[in-house]
Structure 1
Amino acid sequence: MLDYPSLAALAAVVREGGFDKAAVVLGVTPSAVSQRVRALEERVGATLVVRSQPPVPTEAGARLCAHVERVRLLEGELAAGLPGLEGGGPATLRVAVNADSLGSWFLPAVARFAEATGALLDLVLDGEDHTAERLRSGEVLAAVTADPAPVPGCRTRPLGALRYVAVASPEFARRHFAAGVDPAALARAPVLRFDRRDGLQARWLREALGGAATGPTHWVPSTQGFLDASLAGLGWAMNPLALAAPHLKAGRLVELVPGRPLDVELHWQHARLGARLLDALTREVGAEARRRLEPSGGSGRGG
């Protein structure tokens, strides 16, 4: 039989990103957390977590983390129906989502879900090309991802495409693209990137204009900050059309190459549990995606 206190310690180390942080969540000492994880490793005969900063689960550790997260969800659902059970309370679903989805279309879906079910959400931000890794590691039960290949033990369904447009403020465009928007001008003009893994700007440049390189980079790790920096004239950027559209209409932003958007195909992956909460969340996410996303047929951010 599995030792669930030890499993909880392992999952907390991976989820919280360290032994000290896991100890705070579990209400024990870091030494106790370390002892529980070590005892579990001895019991299963395998290393379960690489002691790096942050700790990274091994393949065996990821499988056990995924198991314990699923057990927590099922126990939460059971406790919700049997209030007398010790430790009862709202179940929490841990979900990975990319920042642009969170900032443009995803929140209404989870708000309706939370209102209808009383469940809580623990949203984990990562690039859409990397959220599937959160599922593989057992950190989350569901994810918005650009990866269509199902993670083992998960179901996947297409959501549609999040449409991006290359935009800049009118003054920025006058300053840097007076002679037109071409690869040479874009190689000189400052560009905004979300983080070091954000390859959307370079991909749009290749597909729209055949260019090979973007220019000097400003790093802005926030969806709203990205839009605000574009409006302020800090650089040109790829912004979700849903967020940029009002500013394009008002003339506060201009599209660098009109009619050349880039569509990011998104998928919803979730654990095969048969849990009513995951099914309810899946329905809400699918319904919102049908309302807010474009039909599939493109490529997307990530490097």
Structure 2
Amino acid sequence: MNLEHLKALVAVIDEGTFEAAADLLRVTPSAVSQRIKALETSVGQVLVRRRLPCTTTGAGALLLRMARQVQVLEAETAAALGAASGPRVHLPVAVNADSLATWFVPVLHRAAAWGDSALDLHVEDQGYSSQLLRDGTVMGAVTSDPVPVSGCRVELLGSMRYIPVATPGLRRSFSGPGGLDWAAMPVLKFNAKDTLQQQLLAAKGVQQAPPTHTVPSSQGFLAAVRAGLGWGMIPELQLSGELADGALVRLEEAAHQDVALYWQAWSLDSHRLARIGTAVREAATEQLRPGTGQEPSGPSRAGSTRQK
């Protein structure tokens, strides 16, 4: 498992093609191809699916994960030995878009001062980000999964509260003597993975989905609710002034859903990985509600919500 071969594997997967990987490594595409073939020969298995973009096989995911760890440890060892500063080490991290738009922002401010690292964010639903840890795509993830991925540590960060809101006009239009007509009132969803609204409708006994609009953007989702396109579950942290100024109203005063969030990261003795973990933990402590999730017992999934 030659170090240059492992670097080629990371480059091919991150860049998506052999040609782009060659540009990154400043070699020819043929050289990249030869390194991948040599790595596959050394382990006796196909590691890369040659498609657009290139992806790893199951065996390739194991090698990719190790290759990322080796790159981080190599850079930190070189720094400890007093070597001249090399290129920034990429730190791939998964975070859901609702978090990225709210409580995660202080992490970005902290990362701006890290001259030795480059943050590589992957926006993924908190109920699905654990898979990115399993296949080696990321080194850490904000997830709703309390069960640690094999070789990872996990800790509870806190809970993000979602509130069902709409414009006053929309609520009036679908209010009657018996209350809100949940079965007829238009609703929003972020994408197919977003089940927050569906869960509330199910609790109201609504069997058939009402008119549903899809808005796959955190800021766009809030803008669509403000425009009266439909009602939606909005993070409490994102409603900075809309409830106070009356632009939006709660559909039910006490209705909400708390989603427990966890930080999962590889069990790697790395200063860079520990540093981003500290930044995530401190930002979560300052802004998230105290967690009520399941505390796992040690290294080794929770409800899917959405990635907004």
Tell me the TM-score normalized by structure 1: 0.88
Provide the rounded CA distance (Å) in 2 between the counterparts of 1:275 and 1:107.
Answer: 23
Number of the residue aligned with 2:235: 240
Cα 1:228–1:245 change in 2 (3 A) is same
Q: Is the 8 A contact 1:191 1:236 kept in 2?
A: yes
Provide the rounded CA distance (Å) in 1 between the counterparts of 2:73 and 2:4.
Answer: 16
1:122-271 pair list within 5 angstroms: 122-178=120-176, 182=180, 185-207=181-203, 209-271=204-266
Q: Is the 8 A contact 1:157 1:269 kept in 2?
A: yes
Provide the rounded CA distance (Å) in 1 between the counterparts of 2:51 and 2:174.
Answer: 44
1:69 is aligned with what amino acid?
A: R
Q: 1:156-175: per-residue Cα shift (whole Å, max 9, x none)?
A: 00111111111111122223
SS in 2 for 1:228: helix
1:205 is aligned with what amino acid?
A: L
Provide the rounded CA distance (Å) in 2 between the counterparts of 1:73 and 1:187.
Answer: 52
Deviation, 1:178, is: 4.8
SS in 2 for 1:156: strand
1:7-26 pair list within 5 angstroms: 7-26=6-25
Cα 1:51–1:210 change in 2 (3 A) is farther
Provide the rounded CA distance (Å) in 2 between the counterparts of 1:42 and 1:250.
Answer: 65
Number of the residue aligned with 2:119: 121
Number of the residue aligned with 2:298: none
Cα 1:115–1:28 change in 2 (3 A) is same
Q: Is the 8 A contact 2:159 2:260 kept in 1?
A: yes
Identity level (%): 43
**Number of paired residues?**
298
2:62 counterpart of 1:59: no
Number of the residue aligned with 1:273: 268
Provide the rounded CA distance (Å) in 2 between the counterparts of 1:135 and 1:223.
Answer: 23
2:64 counterpart of 1:68: no
Q: 1:22-72: per-residue Cα shift (whole Å, max 9, x none)?
A: 344334454543443233222211121333444332221111111111112
Provide the rounded CA distance (Å) in 2 between the counterparts of 1:181 and 1:203.
Answer: 19
Deviation, 1:81, is: 4.3
Identify, as 1 or 2, the structure richer in helix.
Answer: 1
Cα 1:82–1:216 change in 2 (3 A) is farther
Aligned Cα root-mean-square deviation (Å): 2.4
Q: Is the 8 A contact 1:66 1:138 kept in 2?
A: yes
Q: Is the 8 A contact 2:125 2:304 kept in 1?
A: no
Deviation, 1:236, is: 1.0
Q: Is the 8 A contact 1:79 1:89 kept in 2?
A: no
Q: Is the 8 A contact 2:165 2:233 kept in 1?
A: yes
Number of the residue aligned with 1:286: 281
2:301 counterpart of 1:301: no
1:193 is aligned with what amino acid?
A: K
Provide the rounded CA distance (Å) in 2 between the counterparts of 1:117 and 1:158.
Answer: 28
Where does the alignment leave 5 or more consecutive residues of structure 2 unmatched? 294-302
Higher relative contact order (CA closer than 8 Å, sequence separation 6+): 2
SS in 2 for 1:104: coil
Q: 1:209-239: per-residue Cα shift (whole Å, max 9, x none)?
A: 2433432222211111111111111211111
Q: 1:100-159: per-residue Cα shift (whole Å, max 9, x none)?
A: 110110120342244266532111111101111111111111000111111111100011
2:8 counterpart of 1:4: no
Q: Is the 8 A contact 1:110 1:281 kept in 2?
A: no
Provide the rounded CA distance (Å) in 2 between the counterparts of 1:131 and 1:191.
Answer: 26
**Larger displacement relative to structure 2 (110-119 or 39-48):** 110-119
2:21 is aligned with what amino acid?
A: A
SS in 2 for 1:143: strand
Q: Is the 8 A contact 1:181 1:256 kept in 2?
A: no
SS in 1 for 2:102: helix
Cα 1:33–1:172 change in 2 (3 A) is farther
SS in 2 for 1:159: strand
1:295 is aligned with what amino acid?
A: P
SS in 1 for 2:163: strand
Cα 1:46–1:166 change in 2 (3 A) is same
